[in-house]
């Protein structure tokens, strides 16, 4: 079984254990530049992600 885990809580709750790590991964937000300029909802979403990432980094 291959699973994407952050904390491993779900694995433990189901009596499973991690046996090996395949690789580290990270999420990416890809935005069309035209949509970023034209659609305020897209810009707001990007800003929300940016603020959250900065708060996590602090």
Give, as one character, the DSSP assignment of residue 15: T
| Longest Cα separation, the chain | 49
Confidence band for 4, pLDDT divided at 50, 70 and 90: confident
Confidence band for 7, pLDDT divided at 50, 70 and 90: confident
Per the model's pLDDT, the better-predicted residue between 5 and 36 turns out to be 36
Q: Are 33 and 39 in contact (CB under 8 A)?
A: no
- Give the pLDDT confidence score for residue 28 in this predicted structure: 87
Q: Give per-residue pLDDT as tens, 16-51.
A: 988 888 998 888 889 999 999 999 999 999 999 999
- Give the pLDDT confidence score for residue 38 in this predicted structure: 94
Q: What is the pTM of this model?
A: 0.55
What is residue 55's three-state secondary structure?
A: helix
């Amino acid at each position: 079984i291959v699973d994407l885990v952050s904390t491993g809580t779900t694995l433990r709750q189901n009596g499973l254990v991690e046996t090996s790590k395949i690789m580290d991964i990270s999420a990416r937000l890809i935005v069309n530049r035209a949509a970023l300029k034209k659609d305020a909802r897209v810009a707001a979403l990007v800003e929300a992600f940016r603020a959250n990432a900065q708060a996590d980094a602090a």
